[in-house]
Amino acid sequence: METNNTLKKENRNIKLYIITAVFVAILLIIQFIAHRITPFMRDDLWYATNLVNGEKVKSLGDIIESQIWHYFNWGGRSINHALLQVVLATGEVAADVLNILATIILGFVIFKTARAKNPLMYLLCEALIVAFNASLFFSMLWESGSVNYLYSTSWILLYVLVILKEMDFEAKEVSKAGKAEYFWIIPLALIAGWSTENMGPTCFVLTVGVIIFLAIKKKKIPFYLYEGAFLTLVGSALLILAPGNFVRNQFVEKAPFMSIIKGRIDSFLLSGCGFLLPSFLFAIILLVIQIYIIKDIKPRDIALFAFAVIAQGAMFLSPAYPQRASFGIMCVLITYIVSVIARLYENHKKMRPMIILMTSSFVLYAVIKICSEIIFPAV
């Protein structure tokens, strides 16, 4: 009898993996078609050249020369834009393939950061990246937007994954940092800080928060957390204090102080009540369920939700808040959402049919949304 039950469970798991793989493949194939009909455009055409002499990028030297000029004359996103130039140099077909790989990686990093185990949750990750996206075209299909947001969010969340695992000291499967972690955290923390103007500093705040949390709990604080805090701060400083940012600001039309404040409040409210409304609303509903109904909220849940709120608050300092800039915050909220739903799926069997139906609905909506971009592209 026990053998039969084990076989039935294994068969169910195999079916679930197959179903997940099929629907993820459908999502990715449709996205690849959308990528194929989206040519290099706008900033892509500029970054495909050596920014100093205007000739097509042909070597690593061209990219280094371009990024030195860019840092001192236009902006500090050196990591993102160096990678963008590499991707553009591969050509449109290769870039489209890389974009799909980046989508797979981002979904997997969200899945792992959420500590999910069921393959259905990976499908939910991939569906929500599209379903909750306020600007699918400019954050995933347009190459410059894709590298700046889709690609960079992967290494930001990978850093978050490493940092948050220190809050799981009650979990049996938690693993302690080894000596190797003290070394590879150096590039990871630096590029996480040197990513985007709101997510980089928030990585620093998160790391400090985890250090304080461990100190309050009287737990040993791994040295790599101090490394992470220092290097995310350094990366953020290199990004925000780049001379090119101040040079570029000279070309921006000056406005009265009160007009600037009003504009930032308007864009801040528009983002919170528009771009991020679906993901924030869904996350808030789950937060209420956790606190008042199932009464099961973990420190990492609070950390993820707080990360999203702080990253959103940091955008108040930005002179502009385009829809695509909400992508990273959206992915952090998705991580929190999947984390909660994964636990509900595992611990409350009666909720599984509802969760499966919900996931199916998001997948269907994501397919429709991508197809609409194919038929009616944003540009």
- Residue 168's domain comprises 10-375
How many other C-beta atoms are found inside a 10 Å radius of the C-beta of residue 105? 17
Q: Is residue 3 part of a domain?
A: no
Q: Say if CB 332 and CB 308 are below 8 A apart.
A: yes
For the chain, where are the E strands, in sequence order? none
Say yes or no to pLDDT of 363 above 70.
yes
Residue 5, domain member (yes or no): no
Q: Each residue of 233-242: pLDDT tens digit?
A: 999 999 999 9
Q: Is residue 183 part of a domain?
A: yes
pLDDT band at 83 (very low <50, low <70, confident <90, very high): very high
Residue 290 lies in a domain: yes
335-349 mean pLDDT? 95
The residue among 255 and 284 whose pLDDT is bigger is: 284
The verdict on pTM exceeding 0.85 is yes
Q: Let me know if residue 233 belongs to a domain.
A: yes
Q: How confident is the model at residue 332 (pLDDT cuts 50, 70, 90)?
A: very high
- Let me know: does 235 contact 192? Beta carbons within 8 Å: yes
In angstroms, the Cα distances linking 29 to 21, 46, 102, 103, 370 are 12, 29, 14, 12, 10
Instruction: Kindly report the backbone phi and psi dihedral angles of residue 49, in degrees, each rounded to the nearest multiple of 5, phi listed first.
Output: -115, 165
Reading the block at residue 108, the tokens are 């997997």
> Would residue 345 count as lying in a domain?
yes
Show the DSSP H helices in 166-325 as ranges: 181-193, 199-216, 223-240, 243-249, 257-270, 277-288, 299-314
User: Total structural domains in the chain?
Assistant: 1
Mean pLDDT in residue range 349-366: 95
In a domain, 274, yes or no: yes
Q: Is residue 1 part of a domain?
A: no
